[in-house]
Structure 1
């Protein structure tokens, strides 16, 4: 009986350690399939174990006489083929193979899904890359167009400036040519008059000189008695009037009082200075003077002004017994009208 059981157990298939480890790794990679596989393995193992246990128990309590008689009769004719009697437990091996196949199929499906996902991601990346490239090309094109337009505008403005400059040069040359012609004409006329004057007799020249002297005397006589209207500026240079030595001296300003006081100091400190340098130094010192110093010389100027007004009033009374209002000081002549009488 023990020999038969050993032979029966030797023909039964059991998974080895490597196969179990491979199945465990497959189950860890696929969680959903792992649950189904574990359920299938659990149910299959329990069924096979129950069947195997039932068979062993039945064999253990088998009738010895009947078994021996049957065995002797059967074994006397032919040996027992254990392979034919062990087909029912090959189900465990087949189920493990099916489980392995399903796990491999699941891994293959997962690999296919990953490949599909990668392909979709690659397609999305390619699409995004094409869109980015198209956008970059569009931005580059717009930038190039803007640069081209700017260059065209700059070139147009440059050409307009050149044309304007050429026109200005042409106009200046035309005016210069016209002035040259007028100058030549005047020079020609003056040359003719000079030639005429040189060929003129002394008697004729004397007559013109006398006419010029007579006209000059007339002008001087009229200007002595001429009084310009009130509010009208007198054109031309004012003739220098003879100063009365008995007239009072004009009042000095605060700057003149300051200059009289500081001029000696400036000369002592800067002996190489000339008149202009001394005047500049005095002006600088007056501008930098403290208010207390300035007020001192302003007081002297006010006092001198009062003195001048009193003396001027007495001087005018002496010249004209009739009391007259003070004559206002003459306005300074305009620099623009200084050379008008030379024309």
Structure 2
């Protein structure tokens, strides 16, 4: 064993130690979350009422002249998913916060064959659109309802949950605009992913710029005497509505500065990671897109600062190191996920 091998082993040992430290920190975080969950369950049990008790204690319905607020009797709404989304993110860790952050990651929707006898029939005509809206359920979210949340870009400052796109909402429903790639039978392939694997899909709608782009536009050259039926809009008219920059177009779209002025980190790959990505045929740009947007939570970023960070992308685990002072994240290692069950089986065979 020469000196280069020894240095490589030392480097790998250092990475392993840092990962163990990071795992310990994550365990502490999980313990904190677990404690909060236990407290919440205790509170719910203490305030629990059976259905008959709720009916007896429910206030009388106000008359029509009374404008006071009244809670509807049917306060639970249930939906059956029409399918699931298959992505490269088995866990919530490092999932992009917006679909266009990692625009080259391809995912797919698998339609539930029990919803329609021929689910592929429900997708006929969808291939003529370039983008689609996906409405889905945040099924992996823990119940932590808060009126105010801390968006990552605000660095800990809290704002109302409905002024953010936080996944932690009273009704855990997600909405993403993605680019349609292709449709094969009852499967929809698309680019742009901000969902965890096996996310339940509630609905799919085509993206129509003529209606979905909030612009006040006076169109003289592209005047249309009647409103086109859904799905039959003229492409030139829709394009004009979404891209017009003439004097006849008056934008009424505003967003707060903290949404616009988000920072991007510089992403660097060491030689070891570069070689591993080539061997594993991993898309370098997708990893860079995920990391430059800083996938860490505000809690991790503020409490632990520069740190080793790992996440799973498909069948691979990415290990990187954040340097918050210089706004750099370095990718140290990209390796195939080790399946513990396979190791157990192998040892038994031996």
- TM-score by length of structure 2 reads 0.20
Higher helix share: 1
Higher strand share: 2
Bigger radius of gyration among the two: 1
